[in-house]
Each structure stands twice: as C-alpha cells, then as structure tokens.
Amino acid sequence: MHITLIRHLPTEWNIKEKLQGRKDIVIANLTEDYEKKIRENKQQLVKLAPFDLVLASTLKRTHQTAHIYGYKPETEQLLDELDFGPFEGAAKKKLIEVYGDKWIENPKELTLGESLINLEGRITSFIDKYADFSSILAFGHGAWIRAIVSYFHYGDINMMNKIIVENNQCITIHF
C-alpha cells in the first residue's frame, strides 16, 4: 500500500506559529507561492493516480485543502490532528519551553490534550484499517503526518519532532 499525504494549506494560526490541534480553523487566503505549489503537487498526484480512496480528517482545513485540489474526500477521524490541550492557540515555542527535550527526544512520554501513545495508536489503527487498499490520498495535519513518517521509518513516533512537514507538503510512503 502507498499513502500519499498532503498537509493542509496554512491557516492564520500557522502563519502566526500557533498550535491548532483540534481547533477547527479555516485556511487563510492563498499566496501565489502556495498556488504554484498546488499546481506542482497536482502534477505529482496525476503520476500517482488513481487513488482507491481519498480521505481527510474531521477538521475543516483538511476538507478545504482537498476541495482546492479538486477532491471530495471521505471523512476519517483517525486522521485528526494531535490534541494539544492547553497549548492550542499558544505559540509552539511555549510547548517547547515547557517540555523541552522530552518533546524532541521522547514525545511518547507526553500527554497534552491527548497522549502521544494514543496518537501512535490512531496511526497503527489507520494502517490496519486501510491495509487492503493499494493507493490512498489523505489530507491531514502536521503532527499526524510527522508521526506516521516517523513510524514508517523508525517503527514508532519518537522521531516525529525531528521531522519537518510544511503546510501543503506532499509526501508518499509505501507500507
């Protein structure tokens, strides 16, 4: 199975470097640079098509992104972003000030609004649920995508915060 993941287009909170988590925030107005990257990603998606399934989280920003790409995705709750709890709406640097090295080196030990062990469980549930599909396109979120990439490469999510996934970045992984 291969999964192509696209992180949602930026929101005003992304631009201000605030953690969003489960806050249901809409995407911001697109810049010319993002529109160019969408065109480039669409060319890549044509090469990867057809997709057996197109999915998005329950949050508006992933559905808006999918629609801009020309897809009408099915909603999949397992794709929802990490619940950052009290850090939602706060600057990302605040979370790093509080948790420091643990956030970078061993995030599985943390519980924010959701435990990161639960996030890893949602990723393994996603992989198991869709194992019989050969090609999936999923519109998702930064922490979730970093976590599945870490899981794919290292067998768990502990390297997720050493991985960078930009808004509108397209990544394909093969399970």
What does the pLDDT look like over 156-173, one tens digit per residue?
999 999 999 999 999 999
Mean pLDDT of the chain: 97
pTM above 0.95, yes or no: yes
Mean pLDDT of 47-67: 98
The predicted pLDDT at position 118 comes to 98
Q: Domain of 106: which CATH number? A: 3.40.50.1240
* Chain position carrying tokens 């911001």: 28
The predicted pLDDT at position 175 comes to 87
Residue 131, amino acid: A
The pLDDT of residue 47 is above 90: yes
Mean pLDDT of 20-40: 97
Give the separation between CA 66 and CA 59, rounded to whole angstroms.
11
- For the chain, how many structural domains are there in total? 1
The predicted pLDDT at position 3 comes to 98
Give the separation between CA 139 and CA 4, rounded to whole angstroms.
9
Residues of the domain holding 61: 2-174
